[in-house]
Structure 1
Amino acid sequence: MSIYSSRLEALRTELSNRQLDGFVIPLTDEHMSEYVGDYALRLQWLTGFQGSAGTAAVLPGMAAIFTDGRYKVQVRDQVDGALYSYQDVPAVQPADWLEAEASKGMRIGYDAWLATKTWARATETRLKAKGISLTPADGNPIDAIWPDQPAPSAAPLSVHEDEFAGQSGAEKRAQIADWLKSETADAVVIAALDSVAWTLNIRGSDVSHTPVALAFAVVRSDGTATLFVEPGKVTPEVRAHMGADVDVAPRDGFAAALEQMGKDGLTVALDPSSCVAAIFQLLAAAGAKIIERRDPALLPKAVKNDTELEGSRAAHIRDGGAVTRFLKWIEETAPGGELDELGAAAKLHDIRRESNLLRDLSFDTISAAGPNAALPHYRVSEESNRKIALNSIFLCDSGGQYTDGTTDVTRTVVVGTPTDEMKERFTRVLKGHIALATQTFPKGTRGTQLDSLARMHLWRGGVDYGHGTGHGVGSFLAVHEGPQRISAANYPGAGADEPLRAGMILSNEPGYYKEGEYGIRIENLVIVEPREIDGAEGEYLGFETITFAPIDLNLVAAEMLTSEERDWLNGYHDDVRAKITPELKNAEDQAWLANATRAI
């Protein structure tokens, strides 16, 4: 019996002891986070799946795992198909599968601290129609059978200085208080970890590569707030920084505080996308009046102020110097045939750390050789590690967390000689990248309206890619930040219906992936900025590119580029050379950059 078979059997035994017939296991935490602490990796522990998005559902005689197109190959490599059937999202959702496979009279459990109210209500309604009940579990049953489950991080909080935030925590709380008054609400629960960090100008290290702390916050209409966090994590410096109007209470006292808010008859604002079902249930049961509103930190966090934008630009130039040195090292080292994915990722990390300003990576580096590059969210491990072969493609998607900004950049290079098909596909990706980078659009435009610009040249070649084109990026916060996105409705990140606003930072990352052979992605970050157009009727916006690193000219089929596209590429490389050359400390590196950014 495999380790995952025995874990699945143990879960079924635990469910039976609780009079439950099934259970739903999402990959998230009590804050509906995309990236979670090790203690919350319940899906990975149960199934072996190491992707960053997925759900499993378990019944007495069968189980299923649900993933989107980014993980179609990965989930089949990591999860035993004899234990779990593979279900493709969005075609099949957990509720669809449970409705089809569960029997009348069954009790399906879920963790109300790991589910949204919307999901719980919709799933409950569907299953009830078949005589199946959806029941919140008293504690998560996986926690009861996971003997060496890591404890939540005890790392201390840190201060995010106003000189980097551009606005004090007191000013942010005052703005939220004004908003609460306009909504005639007494308080708002802020549950999203990056919103808590942004609101109070604090940072943490409780989630790998995302500088946040496991905490909830309640902000009241008088501008005061309570931070629910393990008290030992709050240093005297952090207490002084937050000020006398911010109280600290134990995180495990959060549920009791919600109940008290209900008993006090308060009107409480909750964002249903980040406040889990348990929060709604506790407040409602205690008598609170609940109003559903968007997290008031969400949009101000996404629309960066001038200080945050200048910090991000500086971080990207610093980071671009590191990436450029890495690309030179790859060109020199990889043709020897001994370099592998883990070695490449480690080298890039070492180069980034040489600035002494790197706080962390912004995500696990995607260091992908050959067929592994065809997995958009590939994560290298000892088991999957490949050497970078001659005449193959190497894709590296990486980023850094700096106090003044968060970076995310992807470069695809050929080691040796590319095939004509590689060049043709790469150039189509490049043309889409340029089309998006150069587009101007009226104020109010959504990401869904721009997404096809990045795909149109691939579509003309009869190919596409199965992920979104752009995600928001934080300011020394989450590398994936909402609400802004650029995505088609039928790809992960769907629902990119947020109007793009000046000051937002997004990625521009079209790609192409040939299963079993190679993958291509070109990613820069951009800032939405106002555009002055002679004779324009209304306000217009465009993108300022802030990522600077060479694009591999060995993969460009120059004859496929229009004169405007060629001008953009040459102009971009002029900017890379001008901004990155001062970051390079020796003449050899500078000479390499000059050649890598030569005009074509």
Structure 2
Amino acid sequence: MKVSERIAKLRALMAEKGIDAYVVPTADFHQSEYVGEHFKARKYITGFSGSYGTAVICQDDAGLWTDGRYFFQATNELEGSGVRLMKMFVGDTPSVTEYLADKIPEGGKVGFDGRVLSMDEGKEYEDALSSKNISIDYEEDLIDQIWEDRPPLSDKPAFFLEEKYSGESSAHKLERVRKIMKDNGATVHIIASLDDTGWLLNVRGDDIDFFPLLLSYSIVRMDGVDLYVDETKLNDRILEEFKKVNVTLHPYNDIYEDIKKLDASETALIDPMKMNYALYKNIPCKIAEAANPTILMKAMKNDVELENIKEAHIKDGIAITKFMYWIKTRYDKEDITELSSADKLTSLRAAQEGYIRDSFEPLCAFADHAAMMHYSPSKETDVVLKEGAMFLNDTGGGYYEGSTDITRTFILGSIDQDMKKYFTAVVRAMMNLSRANFLYGCHGYNLDVLVRQPIWDLNIDFQCGSGHGVGYLGNVHEPPTGFRWYVVPSKNEHHQLEEGMVITDEPGIYEDGKFGIRIENEFIVRKGELNKYGQFMHFETITFAPIDLDGIDPEEMTKSEREWLNNYHKDVYEKIGPHLTDEEREWLKEYTRAI
């Protein structure tokens, strides 16, 4: 069926049930960023394939809310669907709840599957719609009723993450979590987010796209853990480790009934941003609301994790450097496309020991495609790389040693002076943040101006954050810290910078219909000098791959900026060079030369 036909079927079902508007977010039951094929309901009903957005279907209107990363992509993909693009955070575009409050008549009804909305979102709907006595039906999965060939839930096996990778036993992690439970007066802690349960129990899976996570819920008690999961995915090693920390297994979907059986005398610690609305509505006991303790714990990597992550970045740097050599020396001799280049890079990563899978969907964008910040090629949009333009490559690898996220923009042939000016500004912006020295207590929004200044100086901005936390075989976009100049509560990037956090630094310039430039490194937050002014902090860069000197105009850089880039490239050559062929190494010497 075409998208318009699917919407027609949904509207007929809505009419039967007296629903005036049906909301379809981009989520599974765990508010995961990427979701398995079974959960791609928003893509099914709109045709929009981006990783972020919410659809609202009414009888006489339909809208897709997404942010600046996807405006260009959404415009193309929604064409002919009858779904309007609603540009979030732009002009007078109403939020989803504002739209519903205005659109739905007095005494009307809004429906959604409460399992795919967060608790906070559900409560926002309640608050926004109550003044018009608009009711909410959160127990209707209408998409499931019209999606005839809907893919089943994943049945792929899980694996245990050894302590040589995790750096901490589940027993010790549970001890730390239970202390915070006590501090909050809680007797149970309900966890619905996959990365939090995975981190806590040192278990990973293969149930959603790219992120190696296991579909599960957990209830942490003072004397054990109730884990809701498909037991057939668990091997003997996992079961053996679970016995050590008194994990009791239950069928995956049983949590919705079991949660109703909590004793009224209990107090449940829950994270309103990490729990779905349906689960929240079933809790019968007192509730203590706070961030999942595991969020900050897993963001502050331990020494074992950090050493592993640095090793993962060396492996990734080898793959990226080989890839850059391949692109730069072959694009004009054979037909290399966006898709074939993505496959090539995946194969280079797969050749590295400990590789598991890509850490997110490869974003390989040539020329004007790169103006769409998060464009990912498809068979319909794939193009051949040609001379005289730029090729943006935002990808990552998942290794047992950790996850990576790197962006490089390659120059194919030659580009004009204006493009070089923009390219150099992006590199300078990335360096500005990398070199920051700051006092402990700073948040990402305190430092974001450093990364944007060289781009703002051109009276240009980019409509997304400047960086995000990176999980260890978890979510590649990991809260609670990131860089942006304004606060977006739903992004959960409001925590101060802590030692051991791993964060990206990824400024860019994007000109619709022309080009896109992004350069991205990762760094570790480190302690610096402690003196009478306080604890100073800085960043340790851990990404090592060449920045294409063909796009650099040295005249646009200060002496200290040139020194930083030269020193960085010296490190790239020393760390990556020994792992290359003689030809690749000679090429790398030229592309890491001092300027």
Instruction: Please report the TM-score for the alignment, with normalisation by the length of structure 1.
Output: 0.96
Does the aligned pair in 2 maintain the 1:24–1:56 contact within 8 Å? yes
1:45 aligns with 2:44: yes
Give the AA of the match of 1:553.
L
Whole-angstrom distance in 1 between the partners of 2:539 and 2:459: 28
Secondary structure at 1:401's aligned position in 2? strand
Give the AA of the match of 1:92.
P
1:127 aligns with 2:129: yes
Whole-angstrom distance in 2 between the partners of 1:133 and 1:331: 59
Quote the residue 2:549 is aligned against. 553
Does the aligned pair in 1 maintain the 2:264–2:286 contact within 8 Å? no
- Do the aligned partners of residues 492 and 511 (structure 1) sit closer, same or farther apart at CA in structure 2, a change above 3 Å counting? farther
Deviation digits for residues 140-172 of structure 1 (CA, Å, limit 9, x no counterpart)? 110111001111101121110011100001111
- The runs of 5 or more residues in structure 1 that have no matched partner are none
Deviation digits for residues 31-69 of structure 1 (CA, Å, limit 9, x no counterpart)? 111111111100001111000000011111111111111
1:596 aligns with 2:595: no
Whole-angstrom distance in 1 between the partners of 2:431 and 2:508: 13
Whole-angstrom distance in 1 between the partners of 2:474 and 2:61: 39
Name which of structure 1's ranges 351-360 and 378-387 shifts more when overlaid on structure 2.
Answer: 351-360
1:512 aligns with 2:505: no
- Do the aligned partners of residues 111 and 47 (structure 1) sit closer, same or farther apart at CA in structure 2, a change above 3 Å counting? same
Quote the residue 2:384 is aligned against. 387
Q: How many residues align?
A: 591
- How much does 1:29 deviate? 1.2
1:577 aligns with 2:573: yes
Whole-angstrom distance in 1 between the partners of 2:492 and 2:297: 20
Give the AA of the match of 2:117.
A
Name which of structure 1's ranges 11-20 and 384-393 shifts more when overlaid on structure 2.
Answer: 11-20
Whole-angstrom distance in 1 between the partners of 2:492 and 2:80: 31
Quote the residue 1:64 is aligned against. 63
1:413 aligns with 2:430: no
Secondary structure at 1:544's aligned position in 2? strand
Whole-angstrom distance in 1 between the partners of 2:225 and 2:295: 17
Whole-angstrom distance in 1 between the partners of 2:355 and 2:406: 15
- How much does 1:495 deviate? 6.0
Quote the residue 1:92 is aligned against. 94
- Do the aligned partners of residues 492 and 467 (structure 1) sit closer, same or farther apart at CA in structure 2, a change above 3 Å counting? farther
1:273 aligns with 2:273: yes
- How much does 1:253 deviate? 1.1
Whole-angstrom distance in 2 between the partners of 1:439 and 1:348: 31
Whole-angstrom distance in 2 between the partners of 1:271 and 1:376: 30
Does the aligned pair in 2 maintain the 1:466–1:491 contact within 8 Å? no
Whole-angstrom distance in 2 between the partners of 1:82 and 1:34: 24
Quote the residue 1:539 is aligned against. 535
> Percent identical across equivalent pairs?
35
Whole-angstrom distance in 1 between the partners of 2:132 and 2:477: 38
- How much does 1:337 deviate? 6.2
- How much does 1:128 deviate? 2.5
Give the AA of the match of 1:101.
K
Give the AA of the match of 2:121.
W
Quote the residue 1:246 is aligned against. 247
- How much does 1:116 deviate? 2.2
Does the aligned pair in 2 maintain the 1:364–1:398 contact within 8 Å? yes
**Superposition pairs for residues 13-162 of structure 1, below 5 Å?**
13-80=12-79, 83-90=82-89, 91-136=93-138, 138-162=139-163
Give the AA of the match of 2:545.
A
**Superposition pairs for residues 113-512 of structure 1, below 5 Å?**
113-136=115-138, 138-222=139-223, 224-244=224-244, 245-261=246-262, 263=263, 265-283=265-283, 286=284, 288-336=285-333, 338-489=335-486, 496-512=493-509
Instruction: Please report the TM-score for the alignment, with normalisation by the length of structure 2.
Output: 0.97
Quote the residue 1:4 is aligned against. 3
Deviation digits for residues 497-556 of structure 1 (CA, Å, limit 9, x no counterpart)? 2100010000000000111111000000100001127x5511011100000000000100
- How much does 1:187 deviate? 0.7
Whole-angstrom distance in 1 between the partners of 2:81 and 2:322: 46
- Do the aligned partners of residues 419 and 369 (structure 1) sit closer, same or farther apart at CA in structure 2, a change above 3 Å counting? same
Does the aligned pair in 2 maintain the 1:155–1:205 contact within 8 Å? yes
Does the aligned pair in 1 maintain the 2:481–2:492 contact within 8 Å? no
